[in-house]
Amino acid sequence: MEVLKIATAGSVDDGKSTLIGRLLYDTKSLTTDKLEAIEKRSKKNGYDYLDFSLATDGLVAEREQGITIDVAHIYFSTKKKSYIIADTPGHVEYTRNMVTGASTSQAAIILIDARKGVIEQTNRHFFINNLLRVKEVIVAINKMDLVEFSEERYNGIKADFEQLMAKRDYEDQKITFIPVSALKGDNVVNRSQSMTWYKGETLLEHLEGLDLAAVSNVGTPRFPVQYVIRPKTDEHHDFRGFAGKVYGGELSVGDEVVALPSQTRSKIKEIYFHDKKYQTASRRSSVTITLEDEINLSRGDMLVKAGDLPTIDKQFTATISWMDSENLIPGKKYVVQHGVNKVLAKVATINHKIHPDYSGIDEKADSLGMNDIAEVTFKLNKPIFYDQFKKHRTNGSFILIDMQSNNTVGAGFIGR
């Protein structure tokens, strides 16, 4: 079964949770006991309709305040696909949550309140999905019931959004507009009776039709070594397997490979998944590879195809999204976790802050606060093997870890 991960983005009260609840309800994914809990709670809150947001808001504080605090993962499936939706909240730590949700998703739904139209936050939502190179974006213009299902209103919002699209950096992104009412159920799963002027697909129809191979980002194969398997048993005395996940492309038995950082050459001898041998390791498979020659490789090292080397450097410039309440300042040291490889990094310079509104105005900055996005240059204590994020979504990204709190304080995308 195919699995599609979707991130949602919207401001407070745009109806994200309601939309997800509606998807679950109309696909009959809500079980009787969950539905009963929603009915009970809706009544308790004094609503005369079913509050589907209660299907996703999991924490006590969220239900009490009627807001979403933390990223929640929601699962449902149809006969065609399994879906995982990251419900990302739209306030205080909005950028952090949105970047996190988008990083693991192949598709994104951006919600717009039809009464408000394109607002400043919409810029940010689109900018982040563009920055993270999410291939498939659905703009759901919600609350159409509150603007009398007006086609004119819908077209006006669509035109405003298209102005943003002209400024985007990642042009391969596919964008689809759908007018919906999550509360009433128009064009989510079932076709709207009130908007017969809309001839396109409903939200679910659109998701069902997405080709997973086409929405995935493909690059060149990279194999970061996660773990070395040496059983040292009689049966497998000389076995030395390199365990890891294949990113970007495929690797096959017989491929000539280069081990980094040593730059030693060898050939792939065997590819295992559990006790079975395979000719080819596909993208995103967690395999174990053995090599023709005895070479020294440990966690954090990388196997790549000969003639297809990444950049090997002790410094890089990246766009980073800052996620901590403590500021990032030049000169401070952090741990850079690049895939499974960890190195020490020093902030060399904050080049400029980026306004996520596509205004094009970049601002000088002495430090970065929570939710800031900026271009930063780092110096490392030893070289890493990276690609530009534009070319390789996995090998071009990293997280920053605070050396004292051990928290993940930022995420970065290598390249200007």
Partner 1 sequence: MKDTSHINALENEAVYIFREVAAQFEKPVLLFSGGKDSITLVRLAQKAFWPAKIPFPLMHIDTGHNFPETIEFRDRLVEELGLELIVRSVQDSIDQGKVKEESGRYSSRNSLQTTTLLDAIDEFKFDACIGGARRDEEKARAKERIFSVRDDFGQWDERSQRPELFDMLNGQIELGQNVRVFPISNWTELDVWSYIKEEEIEIPSIYFAHKRKVFLRDGLIWSHSDYVYQEEDEEVLERMVRFRTVGDMSCTAAVFSEASDIESVVAEIRDSTISERGARIDDKRSEAAMEKRKQQGYF
Shortest Å distance, C-beta 306 to partner 1 = 21
Cα–Cα distance between 298 and 65 in angstroms, integer?
49
Shortest Å distance, C-beta 399 to partner 1 = 5
Shortest Å distance, C-beta 283 to partner 1 = 8
Shortest Å distance, C-beta 178 to partner 1 = 25
Of the pair 90, 339, the CB lying nearest partner 1 is at 339
> Residue 96 phi/psi, 5° resolution?
-55, -50
Q: Which amino acid is at 367?
A: S
Of the pair 58, 117, the CB lying nearest partner 1 is at 58
Whether the CB-CB separation of 184 and 114 falls below 8 Å is answered with no
Retrieve residue 64's tokens.
């009490």
Shortest Å distance, C-beta 388 to partner 1 = 15
Cα–Cα distance between 289 and 92 in angstroms, integer?
44
Of the pair 190, 279, the CB lying nearest partner 1 is at 279
Whether the CB-CB separation of 412 and 99 falls below 8 Å is answered with no
Of the pair 215, 243, the CB lying nearest partner 1 is at 243
Of the pair 171, 275, the CB lying nearest partner 1 is at 275
- Residue 295 C-beta-side C-alpha neighbours within 13 Å: 24
Shortest Å distance, C-beta 286 to partner 1 = 4
E strand residue ranges, 121-275: 136-142, 174-179, 222-229, 241-245, 251-252, 256-260, 264-273
- C-beta contacts of 275-281 below 8 A and 24+ residues apart: 278/253, 279/252, 279/253, 280/250, 280/251, 280/252, 280/253, 281/246, 281/250, 281/251, 281/252
How does DSSP classify residue 56? T
Shortest Å distance, C-beta 268 to partner 1 = 13
Of the pair 3, 312, the CB lying nearest partner 1 is at 3
Of the pair 174, 277, the CB lying nearest partner 1 is at 277
